[in-house]
Copies of this chain bind each other. A is one copy, B any other.
Amino acid sequence: MSLDPKIAARLKRNGDGLVPAIVQQHDSGEVLMLAWMDDEALHRTLTTGRATYWSRSRGAYWVKGDTSGHVQHVKAVSLDCDGDTVLLKVDQVGAACHTGDHTCFDADTLEVTITP
């Protein structure tokens, strides 16, 4: 079993064969994290309903929550207009971020200082 060829044909991967996946809480709309997928990770995500990524640091597939319990149940998946980004809408169990924060974007807000 591998990724549907009709989907694979639309994917535009980077030099490492990966596309970024934006992960959003399906009901609140919060952006939780960004991770990376290859064809197989996308295939597993679409056919298991469990968000599955390619861990660039570990060089291995990563089923979100297998270690932490912080599972992402997949509600919807879409490709962007040029096929180089995936949007996952998920139901996040517990914290999305490995730091324990609810999202990976909670801790470091940059100041917008509009200068004339």
Shortest beta-carbon distance from A100 to chain B in Å: 10
Nearest residue (CB) in B for A82 is: B104
Say yes or no for A107: interface residue by CB 8 A criterion.
Answer: yes
Q: How far is the CA of A112 from the CA of B76 in the complex (A)?
A: 7
**Contacts A10-B108, A20-B20, A49-B112; is A34 near B79 (CB within 8 Å)?**
no
Range class of the A interface residue count: 35 or more
> Cβ of A77 and Cβ of B22 under 8 Å apart?
no
**Chain A residues near B (Cβ < 8 Å):** 7, 10, 15, 20, 22, 24, 28-31, 33-34, 45-49, 74-83, 85, 87, 97-99, 101, 104-115
> Cβ of A114 and Cβ of B80 under 8 Å apart?
no
A105 surroundings in chain B (CB, below 8 A): 78-80, 85, 87
A75 surroundings in chain B (CB, below 8 A): 112
